[in-house]
Amino acid sequence: MLYIIPTPIGNREDITLRAIRILEEVDFILAEDTRKTGTLLKYFNIKNKLISFYEHNETRKTSQVIDELEKGKSIALVSSAGTPTISDPGFKLVRECRQRAIEVTSLPGPSSIITALSASSISSDKFTFFGYLPRKKTARLKFFSQILNWPATCVFFESPYRVLSTLNELEKVLGDRKITVCRELTKKFEEIFESGLKEAAEHFSKKKPRGEFTLVLSAA
């Protein structure tokens, strides 16, 4: 069986007891970042074999992993943080498992998307996750014009290097719409700032943005 194991997005105590047990019991662990996962395993005194499995080797290694699964091995897949396959490697492996009738199970656990939505006062009964925003300004502006009339709450990931530009561009294209800006969720310097786009841009212009950002934008 292939186990999809969510790991903490910041606070290590957010891992589940079941996740700890399975990480101990599987034959080996596929990790997007072996150093980060190694630190997590050490913290919980888990001694197990780690194999690098990330975006640039996923295609090459998938067939090897499938071979091991078909031999009866139990394997866990983890990403650097949060739930694997959600804007992280793993989709191709899961697809291949399904095609070959290899059992796959996913554990519930940490996700910055759900954490941000639940901390926001913006309605989350209908939402769309768009992943990381385009890096280039022209591509971002084109994308923002495409979601101008989007009927559901929008969730994005953004880099600290571009978040201020993104807030200004969103306000320019969409108007002063409500947004929840979540920074460093579950970590020591967590910040959840909710306001209109214009006020949010002003807030983050006063200090250099740092950390990982998840943005929750209200629907049209």
Share of residues in the chain with pLDDT > 90 (%): 97
Mind listing the pLDDT tens digit for each residue in 130-156?
Answer: 999 999 999 999 999 999 999 999 999
- pLDDT at position 76: 98
Closest CA to 49 of 67, 36, 66, 31: 31
- pLDDT at position 74: 98
Q: Where are the beta strands (DSSP E) in the chain?
A: 2-4, 28-31, 50-52, 75-78, 104-106, 127-132, 153-158, 178-183, 191-196, 213-217
Share of residues in the chain with pLDDT > 70 (%): 100
pTM: 0.92
Residue 166 burial (C-beta neighbours within 10 Å; 0-12, 13-18, 19+): buried
Mind listing the pLDDT tens digit for each residue in 58-67?
Answer: 999 999 999 9
Residue 48 burial (C-beta neighbours within 10 Å; 0-12, 13-18, 19+): middle
Provide the pLDDT confidence category of residue 157 given band limits of 50, 70 and 90: very high
Q: In Å, how far from its chain's centre is CA 187?
A: 15
User: Which residues are 93's β-sheet partners?
Assistant: none
Domains of the chain, each with CATH number or no CATH:
2-106 (3.40.1010.10), 112-217 (3.30.950.10)
Provide the pLDDT confidence category of residue 207 given band limits of 50, 70 and 90: confident
